[in-house]
């Protein structure tokens, strides 16, 4: 499968929960015409898998489960950054400003993606804002963009740990603005896109279903249901 050539390339078509039911494992299937996403049996085998998407979409919890499915180590980039800095993300934003946070974020992402063995990585929602991060993702990772509506995200994103939302009287509107500004950047890096809400609507274990769905996108067939 060819990666999208850049910002002007085709937008990954978001796969939904229904696609898992209607399109079970068919490794090696060709991409749909007009899509840059191979919906089943992608080229993620042996590469890092990086989950991107807005705050509150579930990158960390789904990433942990996905790592179990793929039998790989998991790394949460925000958590790694806090460990390295010895401070929380709100403290870094407050004391050093967002630009310094973004520099640290780039360093952590570069170090994670330099690992010789393939990882599953949950990236911070804004990691795609820096061109060097997008270039690195393009070279080193199979990138899965988790999508959901601002209202869904606002109900899940805890603002106390997220300086861009803290004290905001209208978190939904802020998320809407951030998503609008960042959508072309997510499109630029994404090898696959997944509609998270459809899993929450249709499955009593949505995160497990999501992880298994993504495992298939990466190219590793899911185990028998259990
Ligand atoms: C941010 C997202 C956060 C964290 C920081 C900034 C963003 O990560 O990196 O608060 O710019 O969207 P999560 O997406 O994991 O919440």
Q: What is the mean pLDDT of each run of 10 residues along the chain (226 residues)?
A: 43 77 37 34 77 98 97 97 98 98 98 96 98 97 98 95 95 98 98 96 90 92 49
Residues, the chain = 226
pLDDT of residue 14: 87
In ligand 1, the atom with minimum distance to the C-alpha of 105 is: 9
pLDDT of residue 10: 59
Which one, of 98, 111, 104, lies nearest residue 81 by Cα?
Answer: 104
pTM of the model: 0.85
Cβ(150) to ligand 1 under 6 A? no
Residue nearest to atom 8 of ligand 1 (CA): 124
Cβ(89) to ligand 1 under 6 A? yes
In ligand 1, the atom with minimum distance to the C-alpha of 161 is: 10
All structural domains of the chain, each given as residue ranges with its CATH number in brackets, are 14-22+40-218 (3.40.50.300)
Distance CA 122, CA 119 (A): 10
In ligand 1, the atom with minimum distance to the C-alpha of 59 is: 15
**pLDDT, tens digit, 9 for 90 and up, residues 11-61:** 678 888 877 654 433 333 323 322 333 333 456 678 999 999 999 999 999
Among 124, 128, 177, say which to mutate for ligand 1: greatest number of ligand atoms within 8 Å of CB: 124
**pLDDT, tens digit, 9 for 90 and up, residues 130-144:** 999 999 999 999 999
Look up residue 25 and give its two tokens.
């494992």
Residue nearest to atom 9 of ligand 1 (CA): 124
């Amino acid at each position: 499968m060819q990666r999208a050539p850049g910002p002007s390339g085709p937008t990954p078509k978001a796969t939904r929960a229904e696609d898992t039911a209607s399109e079970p494992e068919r490794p090696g299937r060709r991409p749909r015409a007009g899509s840059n996403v191979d919906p089943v049996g992608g080229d993620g085998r042996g590469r890092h898998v990086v989950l991107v998407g807005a705050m509150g979409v579930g990158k960390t919890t789904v990433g942990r489960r996905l790592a179990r499915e793929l039998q790989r180590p998991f790394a949460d980039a925000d958590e790694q950054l806090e460990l390295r800095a010895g401070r929380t993300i709100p403290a870094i934003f407050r004391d050093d400003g967002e630009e310094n946070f973004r520099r640290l974020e780039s360093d952590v992402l570069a170090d994670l993606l330099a690992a010789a063995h393939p990882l599953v990585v949950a990236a911070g929602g804004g990691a795609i804002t820096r061109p060097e991060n997008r270039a690195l993702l393009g070279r080193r990772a199979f990138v899965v963009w988790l999508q959901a509506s601002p209202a869904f995200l606002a109900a899940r994103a805890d603002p106390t740990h997220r300086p861009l939302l803290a004290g905001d009287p209208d978190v939904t509107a802020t998320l809407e603005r951030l998503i609008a500004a960042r959508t072309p950047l997510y499109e630029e890096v994404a090898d696959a896109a997944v509609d998270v809400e459809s899993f929450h609507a249709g499955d009593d274990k949505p995160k497990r279903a999501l992880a298994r769905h993504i495992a298939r996108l990466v190219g590793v067939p899911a185990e028998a249901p259990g």
